[in-house]
Amino acid sequence: MKFSGSIDINQSQEKVADFFADPAYLKEYQEGFEKKELLEGEAGKEGAVSKMYYKNGNHEMVLTETITKNDLPHSFEAFYHHKHMDNTMKCTFTKLRDGQTRYATEVVYTRIDWVMPRLISILFPGMYKKPARRWMENFKSFVEKQ
């Protein structure tokens, strides 16, 4: 399953990329984010591996992030592993006119091996797209307030 989206943010490419790159701000736009823990490598650099912890109500989720490319302020790519699924994410930040930046993302699920999420991805792909879109909108709102 693959999906993409974009949103225009009223801030410079450098500022948008700086906020995106700093894990201290993740809880500002990703609901349920608790913490990011570096396991190996240098934080934010290609090859860095981190655990990302989320909690919504009684549901807890742990992802392992491996940064595969970091060319900020232009682009960022990572691989995310969860016990039931894997995905890649590519984000690009394009300068527009008047200090605006287009934030675009492309997510590709490469593995879904649990029955319920697989069924949801087939029958209701919007269930995966909506949270990603909401996080982009939350990010835009957060960055524009800074």
CATH value at residue 66: 3.30.530.20
Task: Assess whether pLDDT exceeds 90 at residue 127.
Answer: no
Task: Assess whether pLDDT exceeds 90 at residue 126.
Answer: no
Of 1, 4, 14, 2, nearest to 105 (Cα)? Answer: 4
Coil, strand, or helix at residue 112?
strand
Hey, which of 65-69, 97-101, 119-123 has the most confident mean pLDDT? 65-69
The residues, ordered by sequence, that sit 6+ positions from 111 with a Cβ below 8 Å of its Cβ are: 85, 86
Task: Report if pTM > 0.85.
Answer: yes
Q: Which amino acid is at 108?
A: V
Task: Assess whether pLDDT exceeds 90 at residue 90.
Answer: yes
Decide: 90 and 75 in contact? Cβ < 8 Å: yes
- Band of pLDDT at residue 98, cut at 50, 70 and 90: confident
- Cβ count near 143 (within 10 Å): 22
**Sign of CA pseudo-dihedral 108, 113, 116, 118:** positive
Task: Assess whether pLDDT exceeds 70 at residue 67.
Answer: yes
Task: Assess whether pLDDT exceeds 70 at residue 102.
Answer: yes
Decide: 1 and 136 in contact? Cβ < 8 Å: no
Of 28, 84, 23, 25, nearest to 59 (Cα)? Answer: 84
Task: Assess whether pLDDT exceeds 90 at residue 21.
Answer: yes
Per-residue confidence (pLDDT) for residue 138, from 0 to 100: 96
Coil, strand, or helix at residue 139?
helix
Task: Assess whether pLDDT exceeds 90 at residue 62.
Answer: yes
Task: Assess whether pLDDT exceeds 80 at residue 76.
Answer: yes
Mean pLDDT, residues 14-40 taken together: 96
What is the number of structural domains in the chain?
A: 1
Segments forming the whole domain that contains residue 131: 2-145
